[in-house]
Amino acid sequence: MYDVRDLLLWLHEFGKETDKKLVRSYYNFGDRQAVGYYIVKLTELMKSDWKAWVLEFKDEMKVKGIEVCTIIDDAYPERLLTIFDYPLVFYYIGDISCIAVPDVISIVGTRKPTYDAIKMCDLVTKHLAKGNVTVVSGLAFGVDALAHRGALAYGAKTSAVLASGLDHITPRSHVKLARQILDSGGLLLSEYAHGIKPLNHYYVARNRIVSGLASKIFIVEAGLNSGSMTTGRHALDQNKELYVMPGSISNAVAQGTNSLFRQGAYPVIDPEDLHLHDQEETRVCNHPIVMRLKEEGPIMVEVLSDILDMPIQVLMSELMVLECDGFIRIDEQIVRAL
């Protein structure tokens, strides 16, 4: 019997495209010709001493302090499994649980941010640190570095997705920043094996993971042809909530972000516009109507209107919203907290 996880590790090393084709052909029997071809290919590969290679590989990763995660591992991020072209294997150093929280925000943007972008990054990371939020970015110059440093400064967890092996931190001037991320309980992650140097198309491919790990993506500033726009397109394709900072029409590094409004992106003028899960839940649960209902128990709507000194029409409007959110129930003019 073959160990599926060991096979994934070995095939991933054999070639990124090969492992994806083999595994996906196995799960997609609609393409019988492809399945047959890759089964023959796999049979040929199995003749090599791949098990010995896997054992050596595991020992090497252990010595280097690198963890390996495959699609069959419990630690594999659920959000990442929902995207197209998810990595079958990735490598990481640090606490992988930091990207499993409800609110993971990817913050990306230009490498040459304006003053407004710098200020927005500071305000947003300060705001995110108030909740159990992890900030994801790509460790590049500009907005990426601002996002990581802001998270560190205000006490939020942060994760960097690399376009190279974990031993090739780029830019080299950010090696210290990468260490600070790990020291703060954060995470470094890459789909590229140890020893792989960054190439231009790796950065483009990396962006699907930057958006795929997140519940929301915030692009601070981006030109029309920037890498951050690739992240934005991935976010839209992945049906993620995409947020952008509006910019001047004369600002070249805002032309890309401004164009995303036409594709459904939400504007961020204030950090509150990001609508964090924990903060929304706290706000609704602490709603005065809900709190009063918990004190009074089931009560007639008219009586509640008198107690709160609130017009019945206004009260009914509030109650309808709270009922839709699942915090109260109205049965024949009797309202109760859930």
Vertex 212 angle, CA 206 and 214, to 5°:
120
Determine contact, residues 164/139, Cβ cutoff 8 Å.
no
pLDDT tens digit sequence for 240-263: 999 999 999 899 999 999 999 989
Q: Domains in the chain, please, with CATH?
A: 1-64 (no CATH), 96-275 (3.40.50.450), 286-337 (1.10.10)
Predicted model pTM: 0.75
Q: What is the pLDDT of residue 1?
A: 47
Quick one: CA torsion of 156, 159, 160, 164, rounded to 10 degrees?
A: 160
Q: What stretches in the chain show pLDDT beneath 70?
A: 1-2, 14-48, 277-286, 324-326, 332
Provide the token pair at 330.
């109205």
Determine contact, residues 8/72, Cβ cutoff 8 Å.
yes
Q: What is the pLDDT of residue 131?
A: 86
175: three-class secondary structure by DSSP: helix
Q: What is the pLDDT of residue 45?
A: 61
Distances in whole angstroms, Cα of residue 260 to Cα of each of 10, 215, 224, 273: 40, 18, 10, 16
Q: How far apart are CA 241 and CA 314, in angstroms?
A: 31
Q: How far apart are CA 280 and CA 283, in angstroms?
A: 5
